[in-house]
Amino acid sequence: MMMTHSNVYSVAGMARCSIYTAFAFALGPSVPAHAQWSQWGGPNRDFKVEAKQLAHSWPDAGPKTIWKKQLGEGFSSIICDEGVLYTMYRNQTAPIEHVVALDAKTGEVLWDRESASPVPEAGVRFPGPHSTPIVSGNRVFAVGRNAVLRSYDKSDGKVIWSRNLVQDYGATLSEWGYSPSPLIYNDLVILPVARKRPNFNHRPASSPGSTENRAEGRTLMAFKASDGELAWKTQDFGIDHSSPILITVGGRDQVVQVTPEAMFGVDPTSGDLVWTETFDRPDGFMVTPVWVDSRHLFYSTPNNGTRAISVSEKDGKVVSDRMWESRKLRMTFTNPVSVGDCIVGSTGQAPSLIVCLARQTGKRAWVERGFELASFVASGNRIIILEQSGRLSLATVTPTGLQIHSQFKVAEPECYTTPTLIDTTLYLRNRKEIMALDMG
């Protein structure tokens, strides 16, 4: 048996959690009402968006390019809020990292803020940045490859506060650097940081990195968005590339995080544990989980494959139950997406395949060959597929396979970044360029 479920949490007990007050600047909820694609994974962090006017096919010359421009190194995805794009990139000739704001219609740079970000020799193949910024109210929050969390003024890019998660809290970094993307909940910025380690160097008690802050598990940590002060920290699992998501069960919100050793849910206002599913075989490169039907969580790893967990309210408690496991779809760092009765994903092993697993059973419904490693954005039963080679496909997901409408190579390799769809405009990037394509 791969997983066991433990820890149930009283729904009634969750009501005792504290509520953070509003500050002078307006911080929206986790998904602001005006949001277009203001965070990793889109409005609901599930890589799905409503786009009613997508074209049925493209001309032979491919989708129209609205604009294209050079951008530096990195795989940070593109977010959009109120007509402005935000992403991160690296100076290719200096150890400098950038957070940039672009006009969504023209690609014009509105502001660009740089910071020192050296890359160790072991990380030069994929120097980053990999994390995706998030917008809330008049702030942009971003984490660089060396795990420095910064709050920027959305209008001009001025740094309001920063936290060095390595120096202050012992953040865990792989050779890739920091990868997870932060989540906003009310006045909290929530993100995975580190597991507990016993022998930290002591720092002055007045320092944010004092032993009090560093002595307990910090798998997930929450910082006040207003000033960067630590609000809570929780759990002692390792971290990898997966980002947290927000779900609601029994009328109560939870933050869900996947780690190499377990998946768990916590109360977002306090960090109190709600439920845990532990793994008998730890694994890495966990993708961000997808929440479907207000009940089911799906996620995948390169060795253990794809798993489904049910999270529900029973007798006033929140419980988690394993549904199924399948090694027919084993993903690395691209994203799964739920379309119809399918969980669609791209296998990370050669040869790369696009696979549909039936949501209820985990059985492989179909497999499509002839694709390289790919990421996905869905609207209804339509799906946009971006392969690492730069080939873009427009398709419909059917019970028996993909109905391909159009394919065109729109960029050079390596396109590992999940694209962003706003109405009928698709924003994507490779390691050198960023572009806007007309999908209408």
The dihedral built from the CA positions of residue 53, 108, 46 and 351, taken in this order, carries a sign that is positive
Judge whether residue 267 has pLDDT over 90: yes
pLDDT for 1: 36
Q: Bigger pLDDT: 333 or 418?
A: 418
Distance CA 133, CA 137 (A): 13
Overall average pLDDT of the 256-272 stretch: 95
Torsion of CA 224, 186, 172, 121, to 10 degrees: -90
Contact, 145 vs 177, CB < 8 A? yes
Q: Over pLDDT 90: what percentage of the chain?
A: 75
Q: Which fold has domain 47-70+334-415+417-440?
A: Methylamine Dehydrogenase; Chain H (2.130.10)
Distance CA 18, CA 340 (A): 38
Distance CA 175, CA 191 (A): 19
Report the relative pairing of strands 420-422 and 296-301 from DSSP bridges.
Answer: unpaired
Overall average pLDDT of the 92-98 stretch: 90
What residues contact residue 438 under an 8 Å CB cut-off, 6+ apart?
63, 64, 65, 66, 424, 425
* C-alpha closest to that of 86 among 429, 360, 439, 432: 429
Q: Bigger pLDDT: 274 or 212?
A: 274
Judge whether residue 268 has pLDDT over 80: yes
Distance CA 275, CA 404 (A): 41
DSSP for residue 73: B
Distance CA 392, CA 431 (A): 16
Task: Name the pTM for this structure.
Answer: 0.88
Judge whether residue 70 has pLDDT over 60: yes
Helix segments in 104-210, DSSP class H: 165-169
Confidence of residue 429 (pLDDT cuts 50, 70, 90): very high
Q: Where are the domains of the chain?
A: 47-70+334-415+417-440
Q: Dig out the tokens for 437 from the structure.
A: 């394509």
Q: Provide the phi-psi class of 141: left if phi over 0, else alpha when psi is between -120 and 50, else beta.
A: beta
Give the pLDDT confidence of 329-354 residue by residue, as tens digits: 999 889 999 999 999 999 987 789 99
Counting every residue written for the chain, the total comes to 440
Confidence of residue 18 (pLDDT cuts 50, 70, 90): very low
For residue 354, CA distances in Å to 168, 344, 351 come to: 41, 7, 10
pLDDT for 196: 56
Q: Dig out the tokens for 240 from the structure.
A: 């990898």
Give the pLDDT confidence of 109-125 residue by residue, as tens digits: 999 999 999 998 888 88
Confidence of residue 106 (pLDDT cuts 50, 70, 90): very high
pLDDT for 12: 40
* C-alpha closest to that of 327 among 367, 373, 296, 363: 363
Judge whether residue 16 has pLDDT over 60: no
